């Protein structure tokens, strides 16, 4: 957690995300609910992003200070989609966390979701035979990989208004 140098987060299948303070060497709070599998915890600007391996509330935003849920982000704009099972998610490193990159195993998809526009999907890769398990951002790129042994790297290009 870059802006909170003394704090760490951990989570697992027990439905708890613990916030640890290294100065006092103990958990100073917890969020109850997310079913963490893989790399599905991220933090930016006092918000925690969780991805869950379950059949609802796949992606959630939490307030660090209160540890209360800010919102649940739908996998699809249409709302509920059964079986996503998120295994990886990260805030975008550009635009102060405006975007989320997420991968799932249940329906084998990867998405970039715009948090500021009601969860609108900006990018979607699908049709994989096996689950998608990892994601990462670069300066002007993002990548993902999965159970089929392939990795994909995409360049991000911004459209300019004419």
For 121-161, write each residue's pLDDT tens digit. 889 999 999 999 999 998 889 999 999 999 999 998 776 66
143 with 136: CB under 8 angstroms? yes
Question: Where does the pLDDT of residue 40 fall: very low under 50, low under 70, confident under 90, or very high at 90 and above?
Answer: very high
Question: What's the confidence (pLDDT) of residue 70?
Answer: 94
Domains of the chain: 7-18+31-155 (2.130.10.10)
Q: Mean pLDDT for the chain?
A: 87
Question: What's the confidence (pLDDT) of residue 162?
Answer: 59
Question: Where does the pLDDT of residue 61 fall: very low under 50, low under 70, confident under 90, or very high at 90 and above?
Answer: very high
């Amino acid at each position: 957690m870059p802006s909170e140098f003394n704090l760490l987060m951990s989570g697992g299948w027990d439905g708890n995300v613990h916030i640890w303070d290294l100065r006092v060497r103990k958990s100073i709070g917890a969020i109850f609910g997310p079913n963490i599998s893989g790399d599905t915890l991220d933090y930016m600007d006092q918000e925690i992003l969780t991805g869950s391996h379950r059949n609802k509330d796949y992606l959630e935003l939490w307030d660090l200070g209160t540890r209360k849920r800010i919102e649940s982000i739908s996998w699809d704009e249409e709302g509920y989609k059964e079986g996503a099972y998120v295994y990886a998610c990260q805030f975008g490193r550009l635009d102060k966390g405006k975007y989320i990159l997420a991968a799932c195993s249940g329906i084998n998809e990867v998405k970039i979701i715009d948090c500021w526009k009601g969860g609108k999907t900006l990018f979607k890769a699908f049709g994989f035979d096996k689950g998608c398990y990892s994601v990462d951002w670069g300066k002007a790129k993002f990548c993902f990989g999965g159970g089929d042994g392939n990795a994909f790297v995409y360049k991000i290009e911004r459209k300019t208004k004419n």
